[in-house]
Each structure stands twice: as structure tokens, then as C-alpha cells.
Amino acid sequence: MDILSLFVVIPVLTITAILFLKDARHVRLVSAFGMGLQLVLAAILVYLYLSARHSGNIAEMLFVKDYLWYKSLNIHYAVGVDGISVAMIALTSLVVFAGIFASWEVEFLKKEFFISLILLASGVFGFFISIDLFTMFLFYELAVIPMYLLIGIWGSGPKEYSAMKLTLMLMGGSALLLVGLLGIYFNSSPNGGQLTFNILEISKVAIPLPAQRLFFPLTFVGFGVLGALFPFHTWSPDGHASAPTAVSMLHAGVLMKLGGYGAFRVAIFLMPEAAQELSWIFIILTSISVVYGAFGAIAQKDLKYINAYSSVSHCGLVLFAVLMMNKTAMNGAILQMISHGLMTALFFALIGMLYGRTHTRMINEMGGLMKVIPFLSVCYVIAGLASLGLPGLSGFVAEMTIFVGAFQHPELFYRIVTILAVSSIVITAVYILRVVATLLLGPTTNEHHNHITDAKWFEKISVVTLIGAVAAIGLAPFWLSTMIGTSLQPIVNKIIALNPF
Amino acid sequence: MSLGTIFVMRHELLLIAAALLVLMAEIFVNPDKRRYISLFSVSLFGVITLIGFIPSPTGSLFGGMYVTSNTILLMKNVLNIGALLVFIQSVTWLKKEENSEKISEYFILLISTLVGMNFMISAGHFLMFYIGIELATIPIAALAAFDRYKNKSAEAGIKLILSSALSSGILLYGLSLIYGTTGTLYFNEVAALFGNNNLQILAFIFFFAGMAFKISIVPFHLWTADVYEGSPVNITSYLSVISKGAAVFILIILLFSVFPEIIATWQKTIYVTAVLTMTIGNLFAIRQQNITRFLAFSSISQAGYILLGFIGGNQLGMASVIYYVLVYIFSNLGAFGVVIAISNSKGRENIEDYNGLYHTNPKLSLIMTLALFSLAGIPPVAGFFGKFFLFTAAAQKGFYLLVLIAVLNTIISLFYYLLVIKAMFINKGENPIEKFRSDFPTRFALGICVAGIVVTGFASILFEVIRNLSFGV
């Protein structure tokens, strides 16, 4: 058993354990133990990865394991990680761990809830460790499906509608993706020879340009749907608003990153020529995502909707940066994925906790909460500041890198859209500060809220884990940035080789 | 021909022997011990299914009228597995008072349809093929009308017999044109003489239309829903899985080995019918309230996906078709198994009745969910792999647009499968189906289906075996 497969095996074992648990009271303990183990494992992985790199191992992917699965189609179960995937795995295990604690008080069908949640997580982990397009796709779909039940059963508001909309739109994305992947597969060996799904092997051959032109948009849009690419983002506000807390956390925090990661690892890495040719179309779309998402957030009154739109904006920024196709911007994109993942998970966790106390998510029905629940309020302020890019927290590092990288692009068009995208920072500040002002500061407006209690111990675990990570990245971004940067190098080299600038 | 070579027909001989034994049992068994006939028939058939897997000689008989190869043996074994599951699922239903007189009829009729299908698949001559089709169809009409005091069942029987008579007529007309233009009905001779002249294309179109009736491909599907709804649920599941699977098998064999010359023509035909079948089957399935009708329309759209394996004319295509039929047997019989269990013990067959099923019968709803996910093609269950291979086979020959249409159709299908899942898990039932425990045969059959759904995808060896036995144009 290799270390990477453990990331899938542990969730599966946890699910099995929950399944056979007689006493429903122990479900959350078992889940927390399993996901805690996963977190430890992620820390070990980061350590092993860094020490391997330190000792001069410069292979593109480390810990590669490859088992032949379907011989005739050359489908493998192949896993391997580089710095980017290690970072994403660490992010995922943090968010899942926090998510378990944020859903400590779920009572309705408790077993089923945690099973679905962990199943979702195992899909995400599997996606990040895969280097074979088939297994990657398998895990991708595996991560999407439990969402339906999670939102439909444990959600709030128009949950059935939202769950259906989200599932169908995401599966629609995966439909495009499937065709794109098949196209890549059948062009993976233009000179004859064995076709392959292996990303590393495909990256060594040049897929013919006509095929790239056809399959790049399919693949990019396929992943883009999950990354909330305009105009396919509409599932996100409804889905996030209706989902239970932990699911919003996982979904906005991690699942949307599958989109960005896939767009980058599969669409752009394997088909760089077409990506360069067509990037302008998608840059326009992502710029719209960035700006429109931010404006959308201003107009909302429901805390979850505000965050959902803000996620559209921030995830748009990820795709935007990836499309700039230079090292700095891409580095920023990965940082942004991680930073946004942590920050938005923190937001959704806090919103869930507020909602559990005040039973409302409308900002105008709350006010002055800082005096009543100082701990949660301060955490909310921290999350907000991270979101608007305050130096010292992770958001600043990521956005700064993205915009510096994007502005490096020599063409005027790219610089103009960069300036437009930068404007989103200001808009973000508007909606974040407005929420902080009405929600937390000033006198208490609703006397029902005078006697609510502050965070309980499990909530504190959830929140502090995330804040710790946000601050760690903000204060010492270099180790992460270097880890990503070295792994980006081969990818960037491949892109620069065809169009140096 | 020595006596030894007759064992080339081992599958058929065993089935005929089984039918005769059941008949003898009916004659000699004391009337109040009739209920043991079910047990006897099912275990007999189980043994036959197992024997089917023992390697057997291949070759041809009767001057080439009957041929068999390892591919064909594989197809027969796949059908046997499915039929065995249907047999086991019927046991509970046959225990009912009104069926107690008819147990042996049920098994004899079912076995004879299976004999017909085996002869059809093994045919080396269009006449044998036609006899096989008729033998496979006529007893089913009797079975569809098995609840003969129910109007709907009688209606289903007559509809089935009339529409299949019509389709046989069309098929025969096609065959007569084939004979008229080539002067022979032997498959290998027809293959050599078949070309692109207009009369032969016409012959092919008639032939295809006749087959399309059997597989219920749009626009020849209209009989399906009424027959499926009216027949006893066991027969519906048999019709939608085994009959359809057998017809699919023979169609792909004929297309690949008898009509390879006109591949360009049948690719167009299949392109259009596949798109129509998937889309119309799906759109109609959305509106259904009755769960068997719902599964009927979903099985129409499934036939559309299966056509994607045909279109490339490649080895991968045939492999994926056989594999998908196997997966489809487990998935669809899993879904039908749940419907049968509920219909047997509670007599309720509407989707609304499933509201809140998870809270009263969690295991049944989980099996249903697994089966529906498999039908929709959601990983990690077998249906995902089946669909993936079908789509890969079509993409291999460059039919990317068709694959895209098919995948978008799976989204539509996911919508209505999710409606059932929503009913079971999310909706609050005012009058939910009470908790009940189904009896051993039902649970056993469902267990096999679940194992099949879960294991078939991961056990790549199955697909590899199937692929090695498949062939392309």
C-alpha cells in the first residue's frame, strides 16, 4: 500500500466503520478520528515530499504508483503527486477535518450524513492523487454525486431545487469533460502506438492542433462549470445557500478547486497551443466571473448568498490566472485556490454557526453581534479581512501574485482585463466591510440575540484550524510558494517552449 | 455427423431437457406438492447455468444452419445468468394462490423462449434465425397474458403478439429481398454477395426495422410501454433485459459478420435511431408515474446507448455491447427486483408510493439507489464502466458528436433517476410502504444483483475476457 492510496483507503475504511457502528452516538467520533488521521497523513505527506525534494529528487511526480487496470484500453490506476497536488491534498484534509467538527450537531440521519460527507471527501482526494485521466474522471464524478443527497436531505430553503440544479449542471460539465477526455485519449499517440490516459505520458507528446482546438474548449468548460465559470456559475449560489454548513465548506472550499486544478492540469497542460489560441475567449468569461461575482455579492442580503457570489468571483480569479499562462500568475492561481479554499470554508463554517444561534442569515435582521459572541465575531472579521486581501493573511499573497503575473503579459488586451479584474478587490472590500459593519458592529438591533452563546469547543476546533492555516500562509508564504513553484516549472517550460515572451 | 458433435448444441439441449423435466414433474408430482416445482426448476436452471461455463466444443451443425463459437457461448452464458436471476425473482410471485396451478407452465414457457434465443444467436442461416426469433417471442406473449383475469395483462399479451407478428412480417419481407438478391440465406454466403445496390439496401432497412421492433428502438418502440406495464413485473423484467439482450446480440453479430459491406449505410441508420431512441426514451420516462412504465422508458433509452457500441463496427464496440448487457442485467434486474418485492408484498407500483421508503425499508432503497446509479452511469458502480466503454468505442471511430449527445442524455436520465431517489430519501410519505421483510429468494436475487453491480466494474478481467472473444468488421 503506497502512501497516496491511503488517502482513498482511509475514508473508505472510515465509511465502513460507520456503517457497522451500532451506536449512532459514536458516528461523529469515528468520523473525526478518521479525518484526523487523514490530516496527520497529509502532514506526513508534506514532510516526505519536501524532504524528497530537498534531497534532490527532481522527478516531475513523486510517490508514483502504477497498476494496470484495463489492459486493452491501457487504463491504469496511477497515482503520483507534485507540489501542487500535495498542497491541494493538505487543503482538502484541513477543510474536511474542520467540516466534521462544524457538523457536530447534525442529528437527522446522522450516520448517512457522515457517510455521504466522507464519500465526497474520498472522491476529492482520489481526484488530486490521480495522474490517469480515467481514474481522475471516476473520482471527479464520485465527488459530485453525494452532493445531491447532502443538499437534498440536510439542506435548507429550496433544497430540492438547488440540489437538482447543482447536480445536473455539474454532471453536464462532466459530460463535456468526458468527450474532451476521450478526445485526448484517442490523440494521445499521434504517431501510432499505445494510446494512454496517463497525464505525464500525454504531456510528452504533442496532440495535433485541430484536435486541440476541438477538445480544449470541451475540457476547459467541463472543468470550468465546477470552477464557476461564467455563464455556468448559476448552480453555485443556489447550491451553496441551500447546502448544510459542512457541505458548503467542502463544496466551496475544495470541490470548486477541482475545476481550477483540472482546467490547469488537464486542459492547459495537455493542450497548450489551443489554450494559447483560445485563451482570450475564456479570459473574457473569467473576467466577467470575477467582476460580476463581486457585484452580485454586493446586491445580496443573505450571508450565504454573499459568500457564494464571492466564491464565484474568487474562483473566477483562479481560472483567470491560469489562463495567463506564465509562472507567476499560475503560482498565484494555486495559492488563490488554497487561500480561497481555507477562507471560504471558514466563512461558511462561521455562517453556519451564526445561523444555528440566530436562525437567520439575513444581514439586516442581525446587528451588534460583536458584544454578544465576541469569539465568532472576531473570527468573522479575520475571514473577511483575508477575503479582501489584507496583507498578513493568505488572500493578499495569492491575489498579489496573480495580478503581478497577469500584468506581466506583454499584450495590451491582457493588461486591460487585468486592470478590470483588479477592480474586484475594491468591490470585495465594499461588501465585506458592509457586512462586518452591520452584522457585528454597532448596537444590538435584535433583542432575541442578546442571550446567544459563543462558540462551543468543537466549533472552536473547526474555526481555529482554518484560521491557523490562513495566517500561516499569509505570514510565511514562501515555503508553499516554492513548493508550488518548483512543480510549476516543467509545466511552464512546456508552455514557454511554444511561445516565449 | 457423429453423435459427439451434437454436443456443440449443449446449451440448447440442456434447456430442452430442463423443459421436459419440468413438464414430467408437473405430471408426476402430487398436486399439493406443486410448490416444490419452483424450487426444482430454479435449481435445475442454476445447474444448467453453471454447466454453461464449462468449456465446450465449437463448430457448426446441420450443414451450417447452426454455428457456435466462443463469442456466442459467452453471449448465451450472459443470457443464462440474467434468466436465472429472473427465475429466482419469480419464486415468491408464483407462490400466490392464483398462480399455484400454473407454476410449471411458467417455467416451461420461459425456458422455451430461452431456447429460441439461443437458436437465434447461434443461427448460421436466416431461416434458423427466424425460427429462433419466433420461438423466443410467441411464448412470451403467453407469459405477458399470464394474469389472464386482469384486463391489462390480457391486453399486454395481445399487443405483444400483434406487434411482433407485424415486425416479423417486416423482417420476413427483408429476408425475402435478401434471398431474392443473393439467392441464398446462409450468413457467410449472403455476406459475400451483399453489396450496395438499392434493392439490397432496402432489404437491409426492412430487416433492421424488424429487429428494431424487438429491441424497441425508436420509432418502433410504441408497443413497449403498454406491454411492460400490463405484464406481470417478472415478465416485464425478462422482456426488458433478456429478450432485449438476445436481440442486441444477434443484431450486432449480423451487422458485423453479414452486413460489413454496407457499413456506411448502417452507420447512418444507427446514428439516427440511436439519437432518437435515447432522447425520446428519456423524455418520456420523465413523465411516468408508474414505476414499471418508468423503467420501461428508461430501458428504451438504454437501448439507445447500446447502439453506440454498434456504430463503430469495431472490436471494442462489440466487447462494450456484451459487457454493457451484462452490467445492464444486474442493474435493471436489481431495480426490478425491488419493484417486484414491493409489488408482491404491498401491491403498490407508483413512484409516489416510494415516498419515504428509506425510512421504512432502508435496505431496499439502498439497492434501488445503487441500481439506478448504475443505470445512470455513476461511478464507482458497474454502469459507469459500461457506459464509458460504449462511449469509448464510438469515439474510437470519431463519432464525438454522437458521444456528446449520448452523455447529455445520461444527464436527462440522471434527472429522472434522481426523482425516484428523491422520493425514497427526501420526500415525506403520508402513507409510506410499511416495513417488511422479503423472503429468501428475493433477497438472494437482489444480493447477486448488488454483487454484480459493485464487482463487475472493478474486476477488469471480465471486460478483458469479453474483449478477447469479440470481433470487429
A293: distance to nearest CA of chain B, Å?
A: 27
Stretch A250-265: mean pLDDT: 87
Instruction: Report the C-alpha gap between B129 and B148 in whole angstroms.
Output: 30
Domain range enclosing A377: 3-498
- Say what the pLDDT of residue A501 is: 47
Q: Mean pLDDT of all residues in chain A?
A: 85
Answer yes or no: are the C-beta atoms of A379 and A475 closer than 8 Å. no
Asked if B391 has any chain A CB less than 8 Å from its own CB, the reply is yes
Whether the predicted pLDDT of A499 surpasses 70: no
Whether the predicted pLDDT of A270 surpasses 90: no
Q: What is the pLDDT of residues B412-442, one digit of tens each?
A: 999 989 888 888 888 887 777 778 888 888 8
Q: How many Cβ pairs within 8 Å bridge chains A and B?
A: 79
- Say what the pLDDT of residue B344 is: 83
What residues contact residue A461 under an 8 Å CB cut-off, 6+ apart?
Answer: A98, A101
What residues contact residue B189 under an 8 Å CB cut-off, 6+ apart?
Answer: B182
Instruction: Give the pLDDT band (50/70/90) at residue A498.
Output: low
Answer yes or no: are the C-beta atoms of A115 and A57 closer than 8 Å. no
- Quote ipTM for the complex: 0.89
Closest residue in A to B362 (Cα) is: A112
Whether the predicted pLDDT of B379 surpasses 60: yes
Q: For an interface test with A, which of B278, B414, B427, B456 has the most A Cβ atoms less than 10 Å from its Cβ?
A: B414
- Say what the pLDDT of residue B20 is: 92
Q: What is the pLDDT of residues A166-184, one digit of tens each?
A: 888 988 888 899 999 999 9
Q: What is the pLDDT of residues B188-237, one digit of tens each?
A: 888 888 888 888 899 999 999 999 988 888 888 888 888 888 888 889 89
> Quick check: A70 and B410 CB within 8 A?
no
> Quick check: A168 and B414 CB within 8 A?
yes
Asked if B443 has any chain A CB less than 8 Å from its own CB, the reply is no
**Helix, strand, coil proportions of chain B in percent (round to 5)?**
80, 0, 15
Q: For an interface test with A, which of B392, B427, B467 has the most A Cβ atoms less than 10 Å from its Cβ?
A: B392
The pLDDT > 70 percentage for chain A reads: 99
Q: What is the pLDDT of residues B344-373, one digit of tens each?
A: 887 788 888 888 888 888 888 899 999 999
Q: What is the pLDDT of residues A375-422, one digit of tens each?
A: 888 888 888 888 887 887 888 888 888 888 888 888 888 888 888 888
Instruction: Give the pLDDT band (50/70/90) at residue A20.
Output: confident
Question: Greater confidence, A104 or B184?
Answer: B184
Closest residue in A to B425 (Cα) is: A153
Cell of A106: 447534525
Q: Residue written as cell 473577511?
A: A384
Q: Residue written as cell 384486463?
A: B151
If DSSP codes are grouped into helix, strand and coil, which group holds residue B210?
helix
Q: Residue written as cell 456466442?
A: B72
- Say what the pLDDT of residue B387 is: 92
Stretch A206-234: mean pLDDT: 88
Kindly tell me the sign of the dihedral angle through the C-alpha atoms of B405, B411, B417, B419: negative
Say how many domains are in chain A: 1
What residues contact residue A125 under an 8 Å CB cut-off, 6+ apart?
Answer: A7, A8, A11, A38, A89, A92, A93, A139
Asked if B373 has any chain A CB less than 8 Å from its own CB, the reply is yes
Provide DSSP, A64-90.
EEEEEEETTTTEEEEEEE-HHHHHHHH
Find residues 395-424 of chain B whose CB sits inside 8 Å of chain A: 395-396, 400, 403-404, 407-408, 410-411, 414-415, 418, 421-422
Measure CB to CB from residue A186 to each of B319, B395, B467 and give the nearest one: B395
What residues contact residue B134 under an 8 Å CB cut-off, 6+ apart?
Answer: B116, B168
Q: Mean pLDDT of all residues in chain B?
A: 88
β-strands A62-70, A75-81 pairing: antiparallel
Instruction: Report the C-alpha gap between B442 and A390 in whole angstroms.
Output: 63
Instruction: Give the pLDDT band (50/70/90) at residue B251.
Output: very high
> Quick check: B404 and A176 CB within 8 A?
yes
Provide DSSP, B117-166.
HHHHHTBSBHHHHHHHHHHHHHHHHHHHT-STTSHHHHHHHHHHHHHHHH
Q: What is the pLDDT of residues A78-124, one digit of tens each?
A: 888 888 888 889 889 888 888 888 888 777 888 888 888 889 889 99
B324: distance to nearest CA of chain A, Å?
A: 15
Q: What is the pLDDT of residues A36-50, one digit of tens each?
A: 888 899 889 888 888
Residue B427: enclosing H or E segment and its boundaries?
A: none
Instruction: Report the C-alpha gap between A345 and A342 in whole angstroms.
Output: 5
What's phi and psi for A70, nearest 5 deg? -105, 105
- Say what the pLDDT of residue B131 is: 92
pTM of the predicted protein model: 0.92
The pLDDT > 70 percentage for chain B reads: 100
> Quick check: B415 and A168 CB within 8 A?
yes
Q: Which one-letter DSSP state was computed for residue A219?
A: H
CA atoms within 13 A of residue A27's CA, in its CB half-sphere: 25
Q: Which one-letter DSSP state was computed for residue A347?
A: H
Angle at A305 between CA A161 and CA A168, to 5 degrees: 30
- How many CB atoms sit inside 10 A of residue A497's CB? 9
Answer yes or no: are the C-beta atoms of B145 and B168 closer than 8 Å. no
Taking Cα atoms as reference points, which of A207, A234, A224 lies closest to residue A322?
A224
> Which three-class secondary structure string do you get for B10-37?
HHHHHHHHHHHHHHHHHHHCCHHHCCHH
> Quick check: B407 and A145 CB within 8 A?
no
Stretch B39-59: mean pLDDT: 87
Q: What is the pLDDT of residues B278-326, one digit of tens each?
A: 999 898 888 888 888 888 888 889 999 999 999 988 889 999 999 999 9
Q: Residue written as cell 469479453?
A: B466
Answer yes or no: are the C-beta atoms of A317 and A336 closer than 8 Å. yes
Whether the predicted pLDDT of B339 surpasses 70: yes
> Which three-class secondary structure string do you get for A119-184?
HHHHHHHHHHHECEHHHHHHHHHHHHHHHHHHHHHHCCCCHHHHHHHHHHHHHHHHHHHHHHHHHH
A153: distance to nearest CA of chain B, Å?
A: 5
Instruction: Report the C-alpha gap between B217 and B302 in whole angstroms.
Output: 10
Cell of B106: 411458467
Q: Which one-letter DSSP state was computed for residue A447?
A: G
Instruction: Give bridge partners of residue A302 from the DSSP assignment.
Output: A362
